[in-house]
Amino acid sequence: MPGVIAEAGFVSQSAGLNLRGRYVMKIAFSPASPYVRKAMACAVARGIADKVEIWRIGTTDPVLKTVNPLSKVPTLMTDDGMALYDSPVICEYLDSIGSAPGLFPPAGPARWKALQQQALADGILDASQPRRREIGLPQDEGRVSWIALQKGKVDMAIAAFEAEADTLGDLTTIGEITLGCALGYLDFRFPHEPWREAAPKLAAWYARVSGLAPLAQTVPVG
Ligand SMILES: N[C@@H](CCC(=O)N[C@@H](CS)C(=O)NCC(=O)O)C(=O)O
């Protein structure tokens, strides 16, 4: 695996090795990506953000696909030379280091709940990101109905989180962190599509947790 970094050619470009010839942990990063934000929010929550070097790279840069065939961000290069993706895997890896309380509960109902919330909040992103791109293209009938279908998924996911908003804590699980990043993405990219009126309890939760370090220190830019 260490060869991956050397072959990728970014050792010389961005110091994949430190002065002692050891790999440093680094994350392929975009300041506007909600999935990158999620990984960085986990690093903040775990108290290890200062150990993750930012590697700014475009998703069309040929170097990225030499370590991640999907050429996506985030991709995490670990300090033993592994390339990890996608964000659920990266977050679980970050949860395995550091000494702060874990974001992935041990096997049992709390774990399944946290993973399900992560999947649902990732689903908001998975429906919203491509929708934003499609909205900017010529609107034929197929595209209009696809956009409406994706928007419907987001609305249903918001309704599901509203129904369990009373149970949400202070970004103590991967589900809550992902949800915070997903709501932040809606505000960031779809400010003209208000979601709070239909989800007042979720809005109150989000207002409370937005000021906590994992979200406050990872506000998107772009
Ligand atoms: N499921 C992935 C999604 C990552 C993703 O789609 N990232 C976007 C940036 S926000 C990307 O790299 N897009 C480039 C592409 O799809 O080619 C994750 O959770 O990490």
C-alpha–C-alpha distance, residues 151 and 198, integer Å: 14
Report the candidate in 175, 179, 173, 180 with the shortest Cα–Cα distance to residue 219.
Answer: 180
Residue 158, pLDDT > 90, answer yes
Residues 48 and 122 in one domain: no
Q: What is the pLDDT of residues 141-153, one digit of tens each?
A: 999 999 999 999 9
Provide the pairing of β-strand 26-29 with 75-77. antiparallel
Q: Which among 42, 67, 95 is the end of a domain?
A: 95
Residue 93, pLDDT > 70, answer yes
Q: State if residue 175 touches ligand 1 by the CB under 6 angstroms criterion.
A: no
Q: State if residue 71 touches ligand 1 by the CB under 6 angstroms criterion.
A: yes
The answer to whether residue 153 sits within a structural domain is: yes
C-alpha–C-alpha distance, residues 220 and 30, integer Å: 9
Q: What is the pLDDT of residues 120-143, one digit of tens each?
A: 999 999 999 999 999 999 999 999
Q: What percent of the chain has pLDDT over 90?
A: 86
Residues 212 and 124 in one domain: yes
Residue 156, pLDDT > 80, answer yes
The answer to whether residue 104 sits within a structural domain is: no
Q: Which among 95, 121, 149 is the end of a domain?
A: 95
Q: Separation of 93 CA from ligand 1 center, angstroms?
A: 18
Assign residue 114 the CATH number of its domain. Answer: 1.20.1050.10
- CA distances (Å), origin 94, targets 39, 49, 79, 115, 128: 8, 10, 12, 15, 26
- 35, exposed or middle or buried, with CB in 10 Å at 0-12, 13-18, 19+? buried
Residue 20, pLDDT > 70, answer no
Is this model's pTM higher than 0.85 or not? yes
Residues 91 and 113 in one domain: no
pLDDT in the model for residue 10: 36
Query: What average pLDDT does the segment 46-71 reach?
Result: 96
Residues 116 and 211 in one domain: yes
The answer to whether residue 221 sits within a structural domain is: no
Report the candidate in 53, 35, 51 with the shortest Cα–Cα distance to residue 98.
Answer: 51
Assign residue 6 the CATH number of its domain. Answer: 3.40.30.10
Q: Which among 30, 60, 95 is the end of a domain?
A: 95
C-alpha–C-alpha distance, residues 165 and 118, integer Å: 14
Range of the domain at 211: 109-216
User: Cα dihedral sign for 109, 114, 119, 121?
Assistant: positive
Q: State if residue 127 touches ligand 1 by the CB under 6 angstroms criterion.
A: no
Using CA positions, which residue lies closest to atom 16 of ligand 1?
A: 72
Using CA positions, which residue lies closest to atom 15 of ligand 1?
A: 72
pLDDT in the model for residue 12: 32
